[in-house]
Amino acid sequence: PPPALPYFVRRSRMHNVPVYRDLTHGNRKMTVIRKIEGDIWALEGELKAFLGRRAGREPLTQVNELTGTLRIKGYFDGEVKAWLLEKGF
């Protein structure tokens, strides 16, 4: 059963957690979370607090409500995947 949270992260077609690394302009490192449903702003707040404790400062984020995508500046794909799996996604 899905966790009782205001947001849900749907798995990809191959049943993986949809967290990806993205490299643009040759050196801009981003972590992208796709397939977010529900309150994407609640997910962003919890994730910023979690990564802020891990990295020592809150990373910059970009929320796209229409596509259900959250972009985080820096490579945090391992931490985000582990956090989502711990939450029950």
Q: What is the pLDDT of residues 36-53, one digit of tens each?
A: 999 999 999 999 999 999
Nearest CA-CA partner of 84 in 62, 72, 29: 72
> What pLDDT, on a 0 to 100 scale, did the predictor assign at position 3?
83
Assess if residue 54 is contained within a domain. yes
Q: Spell out a b/e string for 17-52, using b for 16 or more CB atoms within 10 Å of the CB, else e.
A: bbbeeeeeeeeeebbbbbbbeeebeebbeebbebbe
How much is the pLDDT for 2? 77
**1 is a domain residue:** no
On whether residue 64 sits in a domain, the answer given is yes
How many domains are there within the chain?
A: 1
Residue 2 lies in a domain: no
Q: Which amino acid is at 35?
A: K
Please indicate, yes or no, if residue 60 is contained in any of the structural domains.
yes
Task: List the domain range (segments joined by +) for residue 75.
Answer: 7-84
In a domain, 57, yes or no: yes
Q: What per-residue confidence (pLDDT) applies to 1? A: 62
Q: Residue 53: give its domain's CATH number.
A: 3.30.780.10
Provide the percentage of residues in the chain whose pLDDT is more than 70.
99
* pLDDT 10s digits, 58-75: 999 999 999 999 999 999
